[in-house]
Amino acid sequence: MSGVRHLYVHLPFCAHRCGYCDFVTVVGRPNEHERYVDAILAELALERPLLADELDTVFLGGGTPTFTRPAALVRLLAALPRAVEVTVEANPETVTPALATLLREGGVTRVSLGAQSFEPRLLRVLERSAQPEDVRRAVYALRDANFDNISLDLIYGVPGQSAADLERDLGAALALEPDHLSCYELEAKPGTRFTHTFGDELARQADAMEDYLERVVERLTGAGYRWYETANFCRPGAPAAAVDFRARHNLAYWRGRDYVGLGIGAVSTLGDDRWRNSPGLARYMAALERGAGPPRDHEALDDAVRRRERVMLGLRLDEPLVLDGAENVLDPEALERLQRLGLARADASTLTLTDRGRFLGGGVTAELLA
């Protein structure tokens, strides 16, 4: 059976927009949640023919999906196609035992908690309202509701964060025994309030924080986690028992699979076509209420672009990239040089980065791409 097997749903609502955030978010608007879910379901109906009957993964991202009013969320979950993995992003302070149960009963298999830090001072810098206690309570509530795949997000490289702060955060996260961890270096994204306030300070700290990624990788792999993607770690699975804690949905992105995205700002990629829904909430809902598709921008992807993307994404993983034509977009001299420097290894059909190559993955990829 053909058809796209990965579905992303964007739930933009948040209690507060954090200073560093550059996602498509909408603050508050509790009265719009039901209407928005209706619009999502209308878009789903339009795109249903693109999707396989049975999906592999569904991912509800935000925004803060769990800030969406529970009734609307329940309705959405019930209407979404079944999938092997259904992930919901959640902010710790929103996760009550009741919500955990609601998600579990709605078919959610995996929850990704935006913990970010366990240090109140840093949480204030990030404008996160959850306290370290909220994270612990949320994890317990999810475990109590029988979630056996919980992920924590951490942010490092926060202005004022010392190496000791980072180690404490990692320790606190590990103490909760998450099945999966995403650790992101804070990016000062152009145009955000955060960059305006802290950009200069971050630039000053850049040298001191240069080894934070190494520290993260060392600590987490030391605790038995697998560094399977540049910013992602998981408990080792049991391949024999088909237990794998890697984020199945995100793996699909990194392996260059097609996906459909629903909701404002959501992106879909299907063959040589990529489209992004426009980010305006009102226009999105109005279009779907008229029975029309949402306003979109399309981008044509030629073969070379798709191959470049496959290299860029695939080299983030700890598994060899199967070239399968991608060798045509590689710079052979650069490949030679990078192998000499001990950053990459290639054979006739695959390309793999060494650990040091992965720490320099961005630069290595830029250099490799012809």
Binding site for other proteins (CB under 8 A): 8, 182, 184-187, 210-214, 230-231, 250, 253-254, 259, 261, 265-267, 269, 274, 276, 299, 305, 308-309, 312-313, 316, 337-338, 341, 343, 358-367, 369
Our CB check for other proteins shows the closer of 223 and 270 to be 270
Provide, rounded to whole angstroms, the least separation between the CB of residue 254 and other proteins.
8
Q: What does the alpha-carbon distance between residue 182 and residue 262 come to, in Å, rounded to a whole number?
A: 23
Other beta carbons less than 10 A from residue 160's beta carbon:
13
Provide, rounded to whole angstroms, the least separation between the CB of residue 21 and other proteins.
13
Provide, rounded to whole angstroms, the least separation between the CB of residue 357 and other proteins.
9
Our CB check for other proteins shows the closer of 75 and 307 to be 307
Q: What does the alpha-carbon distance between residue 53 and residue 288 come to, in Å, rounded to a whole number?
A: 23
**Cα separations (Å) of 212 from 98, 156, 231, 238, 359?**
37, 8, 12, 30, 11
Q: What does the alpha-carbon distance between residue 222 and residue 213 come to, in Å, rounded to a whole number?
A: 14
Our CB check for other proteins shows the closer of 100 and 126 to be 126
Our CB check for other proteins shows the closer of 52 and 369 to be 369
Our CB check for other proteins shows the closer of 75 and 308 to be 308
Edge-to-edge strand list for the sheet holding 226-229: 226-229, 232-234, 180-185, 150-156, 110-116, 83-90, 55-62, 6-11, 260-262
Q: What does the alpha-carbon distance between residue 367 and residue 357 come to, in Å, rounded to a whole number?
A: 12
Provide, rounded to whole angstroms, the least separation between the CB of residue 24 and other proteins.
9
Q: What does the alpha-carbon distance between residue 369 and residue 366 come to, in Å, rounded to a whole number?
A: 6
Provide, rounded to whole angstroms, the least separation between the CB of residue 180 and other proteins.
14
Our CB check for other proteins shows the closer of 24 and 99 to be 24
Our CB check for other proteins shows the closer of 226 and 249 to be 249
Our CB check for other proteins shows the closer of 102 and 202 to be 202
Q: What does the alpha-carbon distance between residue 52 and residue 240 come to, in Å, rounded to a whole number?
A: 27
Provide, rounded to whole angstroms, the least separation between the CB of residue 188 and other proteins.
11
Question: Where would I find the beta strands (DSSP E) of the chain?
Answer: 6-11, 13-14, 26-27, 55-62, 83-90, 110-116, 150-156, 180-185, 226-229, 232-234, 260-262, 267-270, 273-277, 296-300, 321-322, 344-346, 350-353
Provide, rounded to whole angstroms, the least separation between the CB of residue 133 and other proteins.
27
DSSP label at 12? -
Other beta carbons less than 10 A from residue 120's beta carbon:
10
Provide, rounded to whole angstroms, the least separation between the CB of residue 99 and other proteins.
24
